[in-house]
A and B are shown apart, each in its own frame.
Chain A
């Protein structure tokens, strides 16, 4: 790597500097040391396992499904701070405090060369008093694992043609750990796989980030209430959209929308949120949102605070 890069960039001036440095070490043994310490400058990150290099916030935050995105929407972005080579990684934790429920999720995502993202998230949905009312028991918690893979197929979030977004395709395989409950509410299955196509672009001239995702899914309440209804998996295409305004390099304000089906006849609503994200450091991003998750299992007006923290390298 060093040699390859050197070939590109070491020209006369660097050679001269290096020679001057080496002249200070004119004995053979010392020369070896000199070679090691005289500045043959290469990009410092070349050999690092986690090279970093993305512009701050362009790895996005972590969505509730563990994939890089906004809070409730998946974006075309790839998690992790790596650029077109090396690995990146993010870890996150999210809570949503609702009138009748408590959401907690956490997960990790690995980015590979800003091309592939592999993610995992665990969702824990505390039914609190609703659990008692539904006969599940007070504080019964629905749990789900989400395994995701995403591939950037074209475009770049920031660079290239301003009208050409970054486009990614992805799968999210969800395994609900409460099959008895999903069956009881009438879902066809406790497991399901979502297929997503996303397009996202940072419109620098307007300081706006726009993102749209089509999700082909059979999930009820993202899978917490299982998949399909009766005996059918009845997939449908749902929409996720986000718009965010960059206040500064580190701060964005935005809004999100996510359409949802109502297969189970429990009055499942579309979701939306208003969020503010702040990159406290290049590695730590905090997101606070006001989320409106509508009716969940017939308990209406589930609006509340969404808080998320993401560490990224």
Chain B
């Protein structure tokens, strides 16, 4: 018994070099990435911009966007989806590791574009955006649930919710990589 306590006490001693602060960022190779002071986004490598990157054609229905509260509603739904996902223990790790300031903007652009609410999509294509992210089917379902919750909170009728999901669901081919 005594020896166990003694051993524990020994182990609790500070390491000899603790007086010298360790640069843990350096030890683990963490690099600082500067955010653009204007947009708050971390710049990304250049890529060709095209509406094709949005992954689907806009809906052929001028009335659909109104169910989502127009452009402003769509922006809030996209942002809320990202927020929910950042705080969702199932998939938070995937989001924490990325620039969600940019994601909120580009995701809103994509939804707005697909819902024919008159936005340009300026983000990357789905395969490029999700490459090496290791997204699995379960992660995809978690994100869908968060999007559904965000749409519910904004009183989007269920049939209209599904019409947006119908546009997104086939993109799973480019998103789910494992």
- Contacts from A to B (Cβ < 8 Å): 5, 8-17, 19, 22-23, 26-30, 41-45, 51-55, 83-85, 114, 156, 158-162, 203-207, 246-249
Contact = CB atoms under 8 A, between A and B. Distances in A.
Interface in B154-178: 158-159, 162-163, 165-166, 169-170, 172-173, 176
Contacts of B66: none
A283 to B, nearest CB: 15
7 contacts: A13-B96, A27-B12, A43-B139, A45-B90, A53-B138, A84-B138, A203-B166
Q: How large is the interface on B (under 10, 10 to 19, 20 to 34, 35 or more residues)?
A: 35 or more
Nearest to A84: B137
Given A41-B93, A249-B148, A159 B169 contact: yes
Given A9-B97, A29-B11, A53 B30 contact: no
- The 6 residue pairs across chains A and B that have the minimum distance between CB atoms: A8-B134, A53-B138, A204-B166, A41-B93, A29-B11, A205-B166
B163 A204 contact: yes
A159 B162 contact: no
Contact of A27 (B11, B98, B138, B169): B11
* Interface of chain B: mostly helix, strand, loop or mixed: helix
Interface stretch (B13-21, B69-77, B111-119): B13-21
Interface string B30-54: 1101000000000000000000000
Contact of B138 (A8, A45, A160, A203): A45
Contacts of A207: 158-159, 162
A5 B173 CA distance: 20
B30 A12 contact: yes
Interface string B116-136: 000000000000000011101
